[in-house]
Structure 1
Amino acid sequence: MSTSLEKLTQGGLSIGIELPLDNDWSPGGDAKRQRDGRHHGVPDIERHAELAQLADTLGFRALWVRDVPLYDPSFGDAAQVFETFSYLGYLAGITRNILLGTAAVVLPLREPLLTLKSAASIQTLSRERLILGVASGDRPVEYPLFGRDYESRGATFREQIALLRSGARGYLPAGIEVLPQTRTPLPLFVAGLAQQQPEWLGKNMDGCLAYPGTPADHARRVAAWREVAGAKPYVSFIHLDLAEDPDEPLQRHRFGARAGRHALIGELDAMRHAGVDHIALHFRRNRRPLDETFNEIASEVLPQFHQDMTEQPA
């Protein structure tokens, strides 16, 4: 059975989806949000299970969830609403093949032994489908509310990476363990720099999660990552509004673009040539129904990039 790290990059550039599974930032989605009385950035999650299963069935490579413990109106983004590990456990139970990634768990806010137990539980229950993206956090308001020190978050991050890497061996009294123990080490991807030096990240992390950008942006970032990390995976995201006209040219917006599928294929191909290993598509600005969009991408775009993955979970 392949590991989640191997599956992520199998066949070259792979394509996933970043949750939430709602287009609440589109004009129509925002109007519905206001009718429903939801705060800005709080998605409609009524169809989340159906759409997650559709993404799995259609062959998208990964589902990515974010770690947003508290809704802060000044940020205006509740991500997928559900608590990260609880939700991953649910997604593991309703899907079969799609990888499950975090983008990213804010380690210094969490109790490290419970983070290890949660991640090991998801990895075991999902049959090795977890990609554990981690970060130091960028929202100062959260730290005092959790009784954590914001200024020391870099050192705390390093300490927690060491604990996760060891499975807590050497951190506990003799005979005490954190169960379950995973078959293979947890794959750890870093979001941003996490208050660390690039060389430390290249040595201690299995991959990186980069902010959205153009192919030229990624070519520069990939080069810097390769210098410290070699061939370890480089992952990023596109906020996509897929046009109904397949020939509509690409128009960039913040963190992504509106484009027809032919321009999307061109953009993804440019990302592949820039050295990107995986792109997750984010659909909150997408104007079309998400099931329609997923089906078009699966039938017309994924075959340009994915080789067949015939292996089934054990």
Structure 2
Amino acid sequence: MQVLPEGRLAYGMQLPVQSQSTIYAEPWEAGAGPADLVEIARAADRSGFAYLASCDHVAIPRRLAGAMSTIWYDPVATLSYLAGVTERVRLLSHVAIVGLRHPLVTAKQYATLDHLSQGRLILGVGAGHVQEEFEAVGADFERRGAVLDETIDALRAALGADEFPVHHGKLYDFEGLGQRPRPAQERVPVWVGGSSPAAVRRAALRGDGWLPQGDPRDRLPGQIARLKRLRAEAGIEDPVTVGAITEPLYVGAPGWDVGRRALHGAPEALAESLRAYRAMGVHQIQVRFRCRGRTELIDQIAAFGAEVAPHLD
């Protein structure tokens, strides 16, 4: 299922502020809030970004709080809020840990989001990794992969066209229970996150898209080849949207230390580097800009959309 413009390398972004892991959060985000998110979302909407993404964690244990922080906005609330101040950009959960909730609860939330946004939802799902989080809500951490597999199947039914969806599985069983509003889309796209062998297989067999989690450039071609081989062996002919998370970016000469890994420089040079993802078979790239504040980030978003994006194809 193709939901992004065909024939070009699409670009989206994980929102800042809404998740503040020390792995990627900039210092200024600690003091930011809803007004910043609104202006950043509007800038991305204006600049041709394919999607805005929001993460999902219910609660962070103390042992991980130093690295992960405890700032994790709820993705449904966040994306619904930003749907009201944007017009065309899609809204991606990257990723919803759907095994923490009953599929009918998840379907109610995300169907409403798709309805309110007039069909802009992309449901990104993942298995999760924080054991205490699962235990706190009574979810099965040890079998989270199997739970996710069935949850995707159940969500396909619950987010479909039928007001009274039907699913009879090992873990979840429902029939004769109506949910409205229905999603605005006839079929909500489901993108599966993760780079483990199990996650790639899940994306191949159950997903409309794949969201790798930090695969470096030299590893992506092999992962993509496996994804396509598994789909072919299963007889799945529908197209799959392959994603990638790029290195940190800075458009132009930064004039400050943006870090060894960051790509920076002239727009044409950045575009040339990013086109390598398209050559690997990637359809959409998720970009993250180095910045020292909201104004600089919005300037980077605008520069990328106006000066880099036209050279991506």
* TM-score of the superposed pair, with normalisation by structure 2: 0.80
Asked whether 1:141 is paired with 2:122, we answer: no
Task: Tell me what 1:311 maps to.
Answer: none
Find the aligned partners of 1:87 and 1:224 in 2 and give their Cα distance: 34
Task: Tell me what 2:7 maps to.
Answer: 11
User: Which of 106, 122, 125 is residue 131 of structure 1 equivalent to?
Assistant: 122
Of 194-203 and 10-19, more deviation after overlay is shown by 194-203
Task: Tell me what 2:58 maps to.
Answer: 69
* Contact 1:135–1:194 under 8 Å retained in 2: no
Cα shift at 1:26: 11
Cα shift at 1:301: 0.8
Cα shift at 1:165: 1.1
Of 111-120 and 177-186, more deviation after overlay is shown by 177-186
Task: Tell me what 2:269 maps to.
Answer: 263
Task: Tell me what 1:244 maps to.
Answer: 252
* Residues 291 and 148 of structure 1: CA distance in aligned 2, closer, same or farther (over 3 Å): same
Find the aligned partners of 2:141 and 2:217 in 1 and give their Cα distance: 33
Task: Tell me what 1:20 maps to.
Answer: 16
CA RMSD in angstroms, aligned pairs only: 3.2
User: Mind listing any 5+ residue stretches in structure 1 that lack a counterpart?
Assistant: 307-314
Aligned AA (2:116): L
User: Which of 293, 296, 314 is residue 303 of structure 2 equivalent to?
Assistant: 296
* Contact 1:241–1:286 under 8 Å retained in 2: no
Asked whether 1:48 is paired with 2:37, we answer: yes
Find the aligned partners of 1:29 and 1:187 in 2 and give their Cα distance: 31
Of 106-115 and 197-206, more deviation after overlay is shown by 197-206
Task: Tell me what 1:210 maps to.
Answer: 212
User: Which of 97, 111, 116 is residue 107 of structure 2 equivalent to?
Assistant: 116
Aligned AA (1:179): R
1:125-204 to 2 correspondences below 5 Å: 125-167=116-158, 168-170=165-167, 171-174=173-176, 176-182=177-183, 183-192=185-194, 196=198, 198-204=200-206
Q: Secondary structure at the match of 1:114?
A: helix
1:80-91 to 2 correspondences below 5 Å: 81-91=72-82
Cα shift at 1:45: 5.0
Aligned AA (1:52): A
User: Mind listing any 5+ residue stretches in structure 2 that lack a counterpart?
Assistant: 159-164, 168-172, 233-238
Q: Secondary structure at the match of 1:269?
A: helix
Asked whether 1:222 is paired with 2:211, we answer: no
* Residues 197 and 290 of structure 1: CA distance in aligned 2, closer, same or farther (over 3 Å): closer
Asked whether 1:57 is paired with 2:62, we answer: no
Q: Secondary structure at the match of 2:271?
A: helix
Task: Tell me what 1:310 maps to.
Answer: none
Aligned AA (1:73): A
**Percentage of matched positions with identical amino acids:** 26
* Residues 243 and 181 of structure 1: CA distance in aligned 2, closer, same or farther (over 3 Å): closer
Find the aligned partners of 2:9 and 2:282 in 1 and give their Cα distance: 7
* Contact 2:203–2:227 under 8 Å retained in 1: no
* Residues 201 and 211 of structure 1: CA distance in aligned 2, closer, same or farther (over 3 Å): closer
Cα shift at 1:129: 1.0
Cα shift at 1:198: 4.6
Task: Tell me what 1:106 maps to.
Answer: 97
Cα shift at 1:152: 1.6
Find the aligned partners of 1:28 and 1:172 in 2 and give their Cα distance: 41
Aligned AA (1:286): C
Find the aligned partners of 1:82 and 1:274 in 2 and give their Cα distance: 33
Aligned AA (1:301): V
Cα shift at 1:9: 4.2
* Contact 1:27–1:287 under 8 Å retained in 2: no
Aligned AA (1:264): L
* Contact 1:251–1:259 under 8 Å retained in 2: no
Cα shift at 1:137: 0.3
Find the aligned partners of 2:97 and 2:112 in 1 and give their Cα distance: 18
* Residues 133 and 58 of structure 1: CA distance in aligned 2, closer, same or farther (over 3 Å): same
Q: Secondary structure at the match of 1:301?
A: helix
